Structure 1
Amino acid sequence: MSATAGQAADGVRSLADRFGIEPGMVVMEMGYDDDVDEDLRDALADRCGELVDEDTDEVVDAVLVWYRDGDGDLVDLLVDALGPLADSGVVWLLTPKSGRDGHVEPSEISESAPTAGLAQTTTLSAGSDWAASRLVAPKAARSKR
């Protein structure tokens, strides 16, 4: 594979690259609604195949969690996302950017993630309206799961 494979013609890494999604990965989606970023969903599905829903019985490599203020308890949702997640898997928490309907304060994420047993490692822009926070189980916790 060449260094430019999976990259846009202008040299910018694709969304699937930035999310670390590879062909053959199983990616589960939670919190889908009509306000999600369809371009992001399409980019990820193009890379890995169909996104599976939260009723899947499969072990998943990544979980996309669309979460808006008012969607319920974030800790509970993140704990639910951990259930089918592989030991080396990652949770991508997608929240509306500041100024958008449903915006979630960064402090809510930074407080909820550790309570759910996750550590926030990265935050990136996931389109014009959404921000993404990469959450992983700390290494010590992964070895005990």
Structure 2
Amino acid sequence: MGEATGNVRSRFGVNPGQVVQEFGYDDDVDTGVRQELESVIGSELADELYDDVTDAAIVWWRADDGDTADLTDLVLDAMTTLEDGALIWVLVPKPGRDGHVAPADVEEAASTAGLHATSAISAAPDWTGMRLVTRSRGR
């Protein structure tokens, strides 16, 4: 699991001892991604009710979870406990999978929340991850 753990660590930017909060958990999430994240940080992912400072957030989002405004609200919820400069990852089903969400919808929600989508990764066989960060002052 060392290589896989290192891969998740480098892809998601998480480190041992960090607190990662998870939003949108359901029975369709990729358990391998969750287990690898937990292996890297050394603890379970914090749930949506966690109210202390967090180092990163993972948001699972599908088309039937709502519209862009609903995603914006969830991203804003995720931001409430995030440490300054922390990352938010929005994971959406890949094209052709049930619940696929267009990248433009994630980008619109991020922009409305004052964030910027900077990159996308293949997070799992059925999930694409989009990295959200705070906008630079120059934008």
Q: Which runs of 5+ in 2 are unaligned?
A: none
The structure that has the greater radius of gyration is: 1
Q: Which residue of 2 aligns with 1:70?
A: 64
The aligned amino acid for 1:32 is Y
Deviation of residue 107 (structure 1)? 1.2
Q: Give the structure-2-normalised TM-score.
A: 0.90
Q: Which residue of 2 aligns with 1:79?
A: 76
Aligned residue for 1:139, secondary structure, equals coil
Identity of aligned residues (%): 49
Match of 2:133 among 132, 136, 145: 136
Structure number with the higher helix fraction is 2
Runs in 1 of length 4+ with deviation above 3 angstroms?
none
Q: Which moved more, 1:105-114 or 1:124-133?
A: 105-114
Match of 2:108 among 82, 90, 111: 111
Residues 26-48 of structure 1 deviation map (CA, whole Å, 9 limit, x = unaligned): 10000000000000000000010
Deviation of residue 57 (structure 1)? 1.8
Q: Give the structure-1-normalised TM-score.
A: 0.86
The aligned amino acid for 2:48 is E
Deviation of residue 140 (structure 1)? 3.3
Deviation of residue 13 (structure 1)? 5.3
The aligned amino acid for 2:31 is E
